[in-house]
């Protein structure tokens, strides 16, 4: 009332809109987020989902304080007030500087999408003079998504994925099951030792543990929800069998978590709603929830993270397999009763579009950005050839330092450990090439899958000089057809690594690259640091390359 609403009104009077990260404020976060045009949440750290094949970097990451319950504050405020966009500051301190891969970004990005975010911003992209020597100007906090980072070469795959998802998630309307009253009075009462209580991200697990547990329980039971404040609950009505906010967003019931402390006015309003026929659920009562809404088997049976939106007369699902398990199950969609065979490997994501009568279901394998019918997502693969132990050539392009020689290797190896000067500190792109023979039966019909195993960090693949795609996230596989032939075939894999080995060499040599005089570049614990003692990070193809024939 004293700042945010006035600021938004002033911006509107001047033809502008407002975007705000409300977390860290001392007031009810829903009210502060809702007072701007675009509520914006923040990711802070790296989530550990245990995704199969995803690189880990022990000691070089920090816990993600922005779990599902935290991410939903901004989207809840947008949903209950009818705002189309939910923003995010994305990838803040995902890892230590110079060590963030594209593959590490996708899981936390997917979690944000599942929490309702549909308009993300990178943290961060530093502006640096073009003629400034590498690494250019660097902000104190990671990550660096800019042309000075080696991963920028294939970052278009990530940004294409973001564009693909955001376009679809900005369409339609939210379709969450329940409203949950944010028990802010309980939070205040539980923290009486501090006269100024700030709802900052990294302390919410201490200030609201019961509420967080309630939200995660609702998710595990198969439902989705939006938070609502007392202010917005007082303008919520019961219309045609549903709770409806003043902005027109509809819900099946109101959940009052735990021993929820409320004002007398809110108690009276809830009593009126209940008298009119509204469903009021006290605490997280599984049976009561099940009477009001259908649980999503995507959550209860498969453990998927997901969000559902209403699109005209149908529904759109975004689903991400943020588990260590590959899934292949028949499930029923709660919104339509449609049957669908889900096939998602660990780390994969998809869209499902379902008509209201359940007659049409389409999925989008968003890692390749090419739509395909759901039934085609289930594949059986037969190994054609294992190229791991082939003789390979390795040369380097767009690299620092420049390496002119071509190296022959017996079997795949990452390049930082090869006995060649400067490879342990090289950043850039290594080109692996080999040949292999296929029979007439091998190339008779069908499609193919190339499995690159453990890629450090992204790989463009060419088969017989035809580009078939870029593997940038787990699983590092690409499906293709039409380019293999009987006899000898060749494959070229352009692998781009991280700049970690290069910056470590700079610090060992005492090269001055830090530009600023204040906090400057610090580590994940906000301490000044040197990277001189870093051991070389694996760079290139770190396991195997296998070619499969696909049958559907």
Is 112 a domain residue? Answer: yes
Q: Is 395 exposed, middle or buried (0-12, 13-18, 19+ CB in 10 A)?
A: middle
State the Cα–Cα distance between residues 70 and 455, nearest whole angstrom: 32
CB 21 within 8 A of CB 77: no
Q: Do 394 and 274 share a structural domain?
A: no
Question: What pLDDT does 366 receive?
Answer: 56
Q: How far apart are the first and last CA of the chain?
A: 59
Q: Do 400 and 321 share a structural domain?
A: no
pLDDT tens across 46-96, in order? 999 999 999 999 999 988 999 999 999 999 999 999 999 999 999 999 999
> Which CATH number goes with the domain that contains 403?
2.60.120.260
Task: Quickly state the pLDDT bin for 375 (edges 50, 70, 90).
Answer: very low
Task: Quickly state the pLDDT bin for 364 (edges 50, 70, 90).
Answer: low
Asked whether residue 14 carries a pLDDT value surpassing 70, the answer given is yes
Q: Do 238 and 201 share a structural domain?
A: yes
Question: What is the DSSP annotation of 178-242?
Answer: EEEE--HHHHHHTTTT-SS----GGGHHHH-HHHHHHHHHHHHTT--EEEE-HHHHTT-EEETTE
Is 504 a domain residue? Answer: no
Q: Do 30 and 162 share a structural domain?
A: yes
Is 511 a domain residue? Answer: no
Q: Quick check: helix, strand or coil at residue 135?
A: coil
Q: Which two tokens stand for residue 400?
A: 């620092």
pLDDT tens across 78-92, in order? 999 999 999 999 999
Question: What pLDDT does 368 receive?
Answer: 55
State the Cα–Cα distance between residues 197 and 212, nearest whole angstrom: 18
CB 354 within 8 A of CB 315: yes
Q: Which two tokens stand for residue 406?
A: 């071509």
pLDDT tens across 190-230, in order? 876 767 788 888 888 888 999 999 999 999 999 999 999 99
Is 29 a domain residue? Answer: yes
Q: Which residues of 76-102 are buried (b: 16+ CB within 10 A; e: fewer)?
A: bbbbbbebebbbbbbbbbbbbbbbbbb
Q: Do 80 and 128 share a structural domain?
A: yes
Q: Do 411 and 485 share a structural domain?
A: yes
Is 125 a domain residue? Answer: yes
Q: Do 169 and 28 share a structural domain?
A: yes
State the Cα–Cα distance between residues 522 and 387, nearest whole angstrom: 42
Is 306 a domain residue? Answer: yes
pLDDT tens across 144-198, in order? 999 999 999 999 999 999 999 999 999 999 999 999 999 999 998 887 676 778 8
Which of 113, 240, 101, 252 has its CA nearest to residue 180? 252
The domain containing residue 542 runs over which residues?
384-498+537-551
State the Cα–Cα distance between residues 552 and 546, nearest whole angstrom: 19
Residue finishing a domain among 292, 321, 343 = 292
Torsion angles phi and psi, residue 160, rounded to 5: -65, -40
Torsion angles phi and psi, residue 28, rounded to 5: -60, 120
Q: How many domains, in total, are found in the chain?
A: 4
Count of Cβ atoms closer than 10 Å to residue 60 Cβ: 19
Task: Quickly state the pLDDT bin for 486 (edges 50, 70, 90).
Answer: very high
State the Cα–Cα distance between residues 383 and 77, nearest whole angstrom: 50
Is 201 a domain residue? Answer: yes
Q: Do 17 and 101 share a structural domain?
A: yes
Q: Is 63 exposed, middle or buried (0-12, 13-18, 19+ CB in 10 A)?
A: middle
Question: What pLDDT does 159 receive?
Answer: 95
Question: What pLDDT does 372 receive?
Answer: 44
Q: Which whole number is the average pLDDT over 445-450?
A: 90
Q: Which whole number is the average pLDDT over 480-501?
A: 97
Q: Do 394 and 266 share a structural domain?
A: no
Asked whether residue 337 carries a pLDDT value surpassing 70, the answer given is yes
Q: Do 225 and 183 share a structural domain?
A: yes
Non-local CB neighbours of 293 within 8 Å, separated by 6+ positions: 177, 178, 223, 252, 253, 334
Asked whether residue 18 carries a pLDDT value surpassing 60, the answer given is yes
Residue finishing a domain among 343, 378, 413 = 378
CB 459 within 8 A of CB 484: no
Is 506 a domain residue? Answer: no
Q: Do 88 and 207 share a structural domain?
A: no
Q: Do 242 and 191 share a structural domain?
A: yes
How distant, in Å, are the alpha carbons of 334, 385, 473 from that of 442?
42, 10, 28
Packed helices 68-80 and 102-115: angle between N→C axes, nearest 10 degrees: 50
């Amino acid at each position: 009332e004293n700042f945010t609403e006035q600021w938004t009104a002033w911006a509107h009077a001047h033809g502008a809109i407002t975007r705000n990260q409300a977390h860290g404020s001392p007031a009810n976060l829903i009210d502060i987020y809702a007072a701007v045009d675009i509520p914006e949440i923040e990711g802070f750290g790296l989530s550990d989902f245990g995704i199969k094949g995803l690189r880990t970097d022990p000691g070089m990451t920090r816990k993600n304080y922005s779990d599902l319950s935290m991410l939903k504050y901004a989207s809840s405020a947008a949903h209950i007030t009818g705002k189309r966009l939910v923003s995010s500051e994305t990838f803040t301190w995902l890892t230590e500087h110079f060590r963030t891969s594209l593959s590490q970004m996708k899981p936390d990005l997917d979690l944000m999408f599942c929490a309702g975010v549909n308009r993300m911003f990178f943290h961060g992209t530093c502006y640096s003079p073009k003629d400034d020597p590498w690494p250019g100007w660097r902000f104190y906090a990671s990550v660096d998504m800019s042309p000075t980072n080696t991963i920028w070469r294939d970052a278009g795959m990530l940004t294409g994925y973001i564009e693909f998802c955001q376009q679809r998630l900005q369409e339609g309307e939210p379709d969450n099951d329940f409203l949950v009253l944010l028990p802010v009075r309980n939070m205040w009462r539980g923290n009486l030792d501090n006269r100024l209580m700030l709802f900052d991200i990294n302390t919410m697990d201490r200030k609201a543990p019961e509420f967080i547990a309630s939200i995660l329980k609702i998710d595990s039971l198969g439902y989705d929800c939006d938070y609502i404040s007392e202010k917005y609950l007082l303008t919520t009505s019961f219309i045609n069998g549903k709770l409806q906010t003043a902005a027109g967003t509809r819900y099946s019931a109101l959940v009052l978590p735990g021993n929820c402390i409320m004002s007398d006015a809110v108690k009276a309003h809830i009593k009126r709603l209940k008298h009119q026929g509204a469903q009021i659920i006290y605490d997280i009562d599984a049976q009561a929830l099940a009477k009001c809404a259908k649980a999503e088997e995507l959550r209860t049976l498969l453990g998927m993270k997901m969000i559902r939106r209403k699109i005209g007369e149908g529904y759109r699902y975004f689903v991400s397999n943020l588990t260590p398990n590959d899934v292949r199950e028949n499930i029923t969609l709660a919104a339509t009763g449609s049957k669908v065979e889900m096939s998602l490997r660990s780390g994969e994501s998809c869209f499902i579009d379902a008509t209201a009568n359940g007659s049409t279901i389409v999925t989008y394998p968003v890692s390749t950005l090419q739509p395909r019918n759901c039934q085609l997502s289930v594949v059986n693969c037969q190994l054609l050839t294992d190229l791991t132990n082939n003789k390979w050539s390795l040369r380097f392009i767009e690299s620092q330092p420049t390496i002119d020689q071509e190296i022959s290797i017996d079997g795949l190896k990452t390049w930082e450990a090869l006995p060649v000067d400067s490879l342990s500190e090289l950043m850039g792109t290594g080109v692996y090439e080999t040949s292999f023979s296929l029979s007439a039966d091998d190339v008779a019909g069908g499609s193919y899958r190339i499995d690159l195993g453990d890629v450090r960090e992204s790989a463009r693949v060419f088969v017989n000089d035809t580009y078939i795609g870029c593997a940038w996230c787990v699983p590092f596989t690409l499906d293709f057809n039409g380019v293999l032939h009987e006899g000898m075939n060749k494959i070229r894999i352009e692998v781009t690594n991280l700049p970690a080995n290069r910056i470590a060499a700079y610090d060992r040599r005492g090269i001055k690259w830090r530009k600023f005089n204040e906090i400057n570049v610090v580590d994940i614990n906000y301490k000044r640091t040197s990277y001189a003692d870093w051991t070389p990070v694996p760079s290139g193809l770190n396991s195997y390359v296998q070619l499969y024939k696909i049958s559907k």
